[in-house]
Amino acid sequence: MEENFSPYRRAVWLVLLCVLSGAAGLWYSIRVGRALEAILGISCTPLLSGGTLFLLLVQLVSDNTGREHFSGLYRVLVWLSGLAVALLVYGGMTMILLDVVFFLLRHLGSLRPSYETAAGISLLVGGIVTLYGVIRAKQVTITRYALTTQKPIGSCRVVQLSDLHLGAVVGTGQVERIVRSVNACRPDLVVITGDIFNHGKVGECRDPKRAAELLAGIRSTWGVYAVTGNHDPLVGEEHFAAFLEESGIQLLHNTCVSAGPFFLCGRVGNRLRGRTPLDAFFDRAGAQDAYSIVLDHYPDGSGEAAEEAADLFLAGHTHRGQYFPCGLLIRGTYRGGMLYGHSKKGGTDCIVSSGTGYFQIPIRVGTRSEVVCIDLAGAPKNHPDT
């Protein structure tokens, strides 16, 4: 599995995350525990604090496990730990806001609301937002773009999937909804821009065989093509190769192929370890008359696609932050409007998807799980059978 950080930096970040999330989880658990004691008269602070710290630990170590086999209990714990993180984020933000409001009321007004009330309200608000996020994540939305080109391709439709993250929290139910949405678009071509799996292991998915059968049901005139992302198994890994074959997905590994009126170039690799430059395998002659599409997991590859005069660049990876406020926090990392959506670089159309699945935290707030449907209007075809 490819990673974005060196082992040393990854270890440092993991320690910092453990300390900060543990402190935040303990602080929030104690506050909520005291509020519940005041309301119910039952002492539950130690149990609540211990449970929170355990679930946060599960969330942190699940991304660093070297295991090959995954039990049902593991999947349940990862899912529950993701909900705990969401509850901590939204409950914590609400409690901090109420603490400020209550402080002002106590010192500037005549009201004397208790801080236990703030903690109790925050738990309710956090639970409601988390439940909304779970429901929202499972809903697959079709996002449509209309593009024009001078290439002789007539009218075509390309569907993009990205960041499915099949594994502990995304299962066959989501795959069913995805395939249903894809087929409703009646695509001429389907592409997947990386992170098909969650932690580099096909076995993390509860039923990979069923997931492959469902993906094999995608109906596309010129097939389904994919590149890998930083969370996928290594290219050539036995179980991954078998999954792709059963799914009817053709992997593009720093190579180009023709598919109907399209010329597809798929790039894989990791920004840290060095990625093969696009110009090392992009065939300008092959792309001259066909409509050229560059598939890349990382949005920052759009500049190279524009330099090669590709017609369309497709990427994912960002999830658009997946849940508020992450989108705001990472916005500065993706320059040039490449956090999400459509932009133009030279003559190249660039589209970054928010992802069709979701990673680790099983919610979406302020973003959506999307199937990208791109309608292309080109010059008339040179040949009826092109």
Range of the domain at 74: 7-136
8 Å CB contact between 191 and 264 = yes
What confidence score (pLDDT) does residue 335 get?
Answer: 54
What confidence score (pLDDT) does residue 273 get?
Answer: 62
> Burial level of 44, CB count in 10 A (0-12/13-18/19+)?
middle
Looking at the structure, tell me whether residues 16 and 148 fall in a common domain. Answer: no
8 Å CB contact between 372 and 143 = yes
Token pair listed for 128: 């409601």
Gap between the Cα atoms of 23 and 17, Å rounded:
10
What confidence score (pLDDT) does residue 275 get?
Answer: 84
What confidence score (pLDDT) does residue 222 get?
Answer: 97
8 Å CB contact between 86 and 130 = yes
Residue ending a domain, choose from 136, 170, 188:
136
Beta bridge partners of 157: 375
| DSSP code for 189 | E
Looking at the structure, tell me whether residues 43 and 169 fall in a common domain. Answer: no
Does residue 19 sit in helix, strand or coil? helix
Residue ending a domain, choose from 102, 136, 170:
136
What confidence score (pLDDT) does residue 112 get?
Answer: 79
Number of structural domains (the chain) is: 2
Q: For the chain, which ranges sit under pLDDT 50? A: 1-3, 336, 386
pTM (2 decimals)? 0.92
Residue ending a domain, choose from 80, 102, 136:
136
Looking at the structure, tell me whether residues 158 and 305 fall in a common domain. Answer: yes
What confidence score (pLDDT) does residue 1 get?
Answer: 43
Digit-coded pLDDT (tens) for 107-157: 887 777 888 889 999 999 999 999 999 999 999 999 999 999 999 999 999
Token pair listed for 343: 């932009």
Gap between the Cα atoms of 2 and 234, Å rounded:
7
Looking at the structure, tell me whether residues 90 and 219 fall in a common domain. Answer: no
Looking at the structure, tell me whether residues 109 and 181 fall in a common domain. Answer: no
What confidence score (pLDDT) does residue 66 get?
Answer: 67
Q: Which of 312, 311, 317, 285 is nearest to 298 (CA)?
A: 317
Rg over alpha carbons for the chain, rounded to the nearest Å, is 23
| 303 within some domain | yes
Query: Helical H runs in 109-237?
Result: 115-138, 172-185, 208-215
Query: Helical H runs in 45-187?
Result: 45-62, 72-108, 115-138, 172-185
| 219 within some domain | yes
> Burial level of 351, CB count in 10 A (0-12/13-18/19+)?
buried
8 Å CB contact between 202 and 208 = yes
Sheet with 262-267, strands from edge to edge, namely 255-259, 262-267, 291-296, 312-315, 348-352, 341-345
Token pair listed for 36: 């519940």
8 Å CB contact between 85 and 56 = yes
What confidence score (pLDDT) does residue 130 get?
Answer: 98
